Amino acid sequence: MSRTTSGRGRLYESVTDTIGDTPVIRLNRIAPEHVTIYVKVEAFNPAGSVKDRLAVSIIEEAEASGALAPGQTVVEATSGNTGIGLAMACAATGHPLVVTMADSFSIERRKLMRFLGAKVVLTPRADKAVGMYKKAVELAEANGWFMARQFETPANALIHANTTAREILADFDGQRLNYFVTGYGTGGTFNGVAKVLKAERPDVKIVLTEPANAALVGSGTAQARGEGGSPASGHPAWEPHPIQGWTPDFIPAVLQEALDRGDHDALIPVTGADGMTWAQRLAREEGIFVGISAGATLAAAVAAAGEAPEGSVMLVMLPDTGERYLTTPLFEAIPEEMTGEEQALSRSTPGYQLA
């Protein structure tokens, strides 16, 4: 039978209208045999990550409330995906964007934001996420810019309650779903989805995961906070980790709200190495091209599956595309030139060989 398509049955007024309704895909080759694992692939969003949802929510909610004036500059601190999503949303809505970002994050993230028209102000990696956050506050106050405040804004969890959670409920309508697994950066996905699932599918267990060497939630140590829930300082349990987009060096207020509600049923720490291993397996054995945070979330799901009853069904959030990680350790072992095996293949026929 030949594959065909029939179109989406609608025309879009803006790129921002294409955000959401990302596919849920079954894993056929790498899931443990006694469970069924589905993954929600957020790389299908127009700018390639789950943060597209947050970005458009921040802009639309702020415009609707009058907090963001037409043409006003937006400023935000981000490790990359929120900045890329905001750059896309700001380009589509006519707002200049300035991003502050520690210089430890991947170079392709800076280039993508600049390609979309944003300005990127780098901060010293030694100052961590709190440093880039405070730089954004300085710039906002000095210039009268609108600060997106992804770590505190109610628009963050709201978009996930209104879209991500609703998509999950629709996709699993009448179907078994036993576990929902997610990591956290701001905590918006966890907050918004868990709130809805706890109300409408209370049988679903919520599994939260974080880096093993930056286990802020697992430490049990409270986060020091300033005005409006902003971080007053870095969290003492944080250490540098390779899972970009996960776990800044503070517990965001959006995450704290869900923690205070007791919305997670389990907390599983994951190493960066395991995150990279499972991201590579997703690519090579399932054809699903995602980043380190996605691999780490799947690693947590596989760990949770170890105690899951036979026949359990799990849904795992995969936050972004693997193209965000080309200059990171995820691609360190991938050669640029032909391998010995590839050279042998080339020599196996007479023509078109490199000198």
Structure tokens, 243: 């899972």
Q: Count CA atoms closer than 13 A to 152's CA, side-chain side.
A: 13
Residue with tokens 């964007």: 97
Answer yes or no: are the C-beta atoms of 210 and 267 closer than 8 Å: yes
Distance CA 135, CA 141 (A): 10
Which of the residues 49, 79, 106, 293 is marked catalytic? Answer: 293
Structure tokens, 197: 């699932």
Which of the residues 40, 49, 51, 128 is marked catalytic? Answer: 51
Is 1 exposed, middle or buried, given 0-12, 13-18 or 19+ CB atoms closer than 10 A?
Answer: exposed
Structure tokens, 137: 């506050």
Check if 293 is active-site: yes
Distance CA 34, CA 311 (A): 6
Check if 51 is active-site: yes
Distance CA 210, CA 297 (A): 9
Structure tokens, 267: 């907390």
What is the bridge-based pairing of β-strands 24-26 and 35-41?
antiparallel
CA dihedral in degrees (302, 316, 109, 322; nearest 10)?
60
Residues designated as active site: 51, 293
